[in-house]
Structure 1
Amino acid sequence: MRLRVSYDGTDFFGWQVQPGTRTVQGELQEAIFRLTGERRTVVAAGRTDAGVHALGQACHFRTQTPTPAHRLGPALAPHLPPDVAVLEGRDVPPHFHSTRDAVSKTYRYVILNDRDPNPLARRFAWRVRPDVRGNGLNVDAMREAAAHIVGRHDFACFQSAGSPRPDTVRTVHRLTLTRAAIWPAWSPVPGEEIANDAGGPWLFLEVTGDGFLYNMVRTIAGTLAEVGMGKRPPEDVAALIASRDRTLAGPTAPPQGLYLVRVDYDD
């Protein structure tokens, strides 16, 4: 069975079960056990880190429960904590695998580009202050830099140490930056309809690709933020990708601004 799951990652030590810590996988597996009496492993399309959120994580598990797939979300709700919700259940073939069968994933990174702190956003966005002259991020420059990322490339320069992949070639299908005056961060679709490029403190980076390396989206966000601050020119990103050198890229942006928006399959 495949589930579509949403969660606030603030109080979790990431997705994957780890001894002595609270994780999303652990909460889901315990809820499934309470409902069905079955001890099952829930496999995610992507293992999110501590503090990272999900609007549409995909995962699967095998079960003999008589509960219909479309009723599984409401059935699990009493057994789940308030920071996790099952949005949808779907029957899938026995050979289905959430990770291997995914054809694309979409992530969103949220930046609050404002002089004043916002206590309500501190768990859900990265605050990047304007410079001493009050200038915000240069979104046009960031978009110019982002154009170098779209396409099929070796993205080793955006991969953090800790979970290296032998194959670092990935395809980024789409990368957009949208500035807005209001908060559409939890929308299941991009917020272009409320975009206001003339102003607004919120900046939403949205990227779709066939797969992502460890911390790849957060490092892209950190690198593009440096472009927006004027710390590096937009054309520097092309040379950075060609170098394959992580030390030349920008910082890994903090986890609270990152959202797994959706995972797509051929069905």
Structure 2
Amino acid sequence: MRNVKLIIEYDGTNYHGWQKQKNAKTVQDTIESAIKGLTGEKAELTGASRTDFGVHALGQVANFKTDSNIPGDRFSYALNRILPDDIVIIESQEVSPDFHARFKSKGKKYRYLIYNSRFPSAILRNRAFHVSYKLDFESMKKAASYFLGTHDFSSFRASGSSVKTSVRTMTDVLLERDDKIIKFEISGDGFLYNMVRIMVGTLVDVGMGRINADDIPKIIESKNRKSAGRTAPAEGLYLVEVYY
């Protein structure tokens, strides 16, 4: 069988996350249904990241096996004719039989948007975290810098995770502001359950003066979820890129 890789952009607002579930619409089962409609095959789609309900993607990666004779680079065109407007295959290609979107991944990049304004945005209501309080951006920027490097990020992990280790390496961290939009971007070799959302919630608490920026190393060292800040909502989170 041939192995086809997809790079996918989607608005997660109307989906119960990536992974298929009983009695719930997800991104995975929507694309699998489109593949079946196109090829007649019941494909098993493997995604690099199991994004949660409401989380978006600019560069989710997935792969599936097929006996179809459709050229790998034409799957994007064919599937986009079938898929709903909030899911787009931005690239498709045939890859080696051993390529696995999740197990071959060497890292990911996430983006989180905060809309910092007195009133919410009608346009960004499902695409950014609205914070009405004035935020100390410089303190948030200082706090974010402490996430760089290799640490045990247990303090930034939600319950329900069964990973063997909470140690992860963050290679790039960016926090920038453009008027009312604060953008947080972080790249690393892996992320724990809700890790980016807890990081952002903690940065917002720093910006509001509830947590001191210089306390971030202590919070990391504590390995205690209760010492970190809130969990930011899903709608501001985007999977930007998967590294191989």
* TM-score of the pair, normalised by structure 1: 0.89
The C-alpha deviation readout for 1:112-168, integer Å capped at 9, x for no partner, is 0000221111110000112xxxxx211211111111110011101101012232211
- Amino acid in the other structure paired with 2:231: T
Same amino acid, percent of matched pairs? 43
Instruction: Extract unaligned runs of 5+ from structure 1.
Output: 131-135, 181-199
Larger proportion of strand? 2
Q: Using the alignment, how far apart are the partners of 2:241 and 2:219 within structure 1?
A: 28
1:105 equivalent in alignment to 2:100: no
- Amino acid in the other structure paired with 2:6: L
Structure 1 residue 68: Cα displacement: 1.2
Q: Specify the alignment match of 1:11 in structure 2.
A: 14
Which of the numbers 79, 83, 87 marks the counterpart of 2:86? 83
1:26 equivalent in alignment to 2:29: yes
SS of residue in 2 equivalent to 1:35: helix
Instruction: Extract unaligned runs of 5+ from structure 2.
Output: none
Q: Specify the alignment match of 1:201 in structure 2.
A: 180
Q: Using the alignment, how far apart are the partners of 1:13 and 1:109 within structure 2?
A: 19
1:125 equivalent in alignment to 2:128: yes
1:237 equivalent in alignment to 2:233: no
Q: Which runs of 4+ in 1 moved over 4 A?
A: none
SS of residue in 2 equivalent to 1:91: strand
- Amino acid in the other structure paired with 1:228: G
SS of residue in 2 equivalent to 1:10: helix
Q: Using the alignment, how far apart are the partners of 2:142 and 2:228 within structure 1?
A: 16
Q: Specify the alignment match of 1:2 in structure 2.
A: 5
Structure 1 residue 5: Cα displacement: 0.2
Which of the numbers 147, 150, 158 marks the counterpart of 1:149? 147
- Amino acid in the other structure paired with 1:250: G
Q: Using the alignment, how far apart are the partners of 1:34 and 1:117 within structure 2?
A: 40
Q: Using the alignment, how far apart are the partners of 2:113 and 2:77 within structure 1?
A: 30
Structure 1 residue 22: Cα displacement: 0.3
Q: Specify the alignment match of 1:67 in structure 2.
A: 70
Which of the numbers 208, 220, 228 marks the counterpart of 2:207? 228
Q: Specify the alignment match of 1:255 in structure 2.
A: 234
- Amino acid in the other structure paired with 1:22: K
- Amino acid in the other structure paired with 2:74: R
- Amino acid in the other structure paired with 2:64: F
Q: Specify the alignment match of 1:160 in structure 2.
A: 158
Give the CA RMSD over aligned residues: 0.9
Q: Specify the alignment match of 2:177 in structure 1.
A: 179
The C-alpha deviation readout for 1:75-113, integer Å capped at 9, x for no partner, is 111221111110001221111111111112110000000
Q: Specify the alignment match of 1:49 in structure 2.
A: 52
